[in-house]
Amino acid sequence: MGSKNKLKRFRENETFSNVIQPTRKELLQGFTLKENWHNQFKNNNPIVLELGCGKGEYTIDLARKNPTINYVGVDLKGARFWRGAKTALEENLTNVVFVRTQIELIHLLFGKNEISEIWITFPDPQIKYTRTKHRLTNPEFLKKYHHIIKPEGIIHLKTDSEFMHGYTLGLLTGEGHEIDYAHHNIYNNPHAPIEVTSTQTFYENQYLEKGKPITYIKFKLHY
């Protein structure tokens, strides 16, 4: 994407009613929507997060299918989720919001038990050992998710990375968390949950066309 297109999208994001771009300082001083997200959505419906939402394809598709659930897509790259935000406005999807921020600040965006469910879709696996702290299922991230998600709230990890799948399974087992479902090739399993296989991103379709297996884990955190 050219720099002109990026700048154009950044400017458009600033005008979108469904895009929130808090500064780090605003989050650290006390984010106004924390524990008050019902003010943004104008209802008390459950809130579901997509972390590292990219173009927002998963967020948008889930929002279309579940109008009584609110969806928040979180990503640092605003030029990417511009597409999802624009689509939501064009389709008048009032149950969708996109937030531009770093995922490690997620505990500053939401209060304790404010989130019902979390989707982590195709994150960068950060394979190098020196990048362990950036993996979205490392122990520090899991503790932050545990703080914001409701008791018994479900977390989904969908990835094309066998490494990320194995790392997360090992970590969850070692820390005593609850694995409800795990499969190393979700589209080759006739019993796969429909919400996992019925929504696909652009890149996911490319992986599938190349015959690359998509892995999936559904889990709950217990500390």
Kindly provide the b/e burial profile for residues 122-155, where b requires at least 16 CB atoms within 10 angstroms of the residue's own CB.
bbebbeeeeeeeebbbbeebbebbbbbbeeebbb
Q: Return d(Cα 25, Cα 141) in angstroms, integer.
A: 21
Length of the chain (residues)? 223
Please report the DSSP string for 90-101 in residue order: HTT-TTEEEEES
Which one of 61, 75, 124, 160 is the catalytic residue? 124
Cβ(138)–Cβ(184) below 8 Å:
no
| Structure-token match 């006390």, residue found | 30
Active site residue 61: no
Catalytic residue annotation: 124
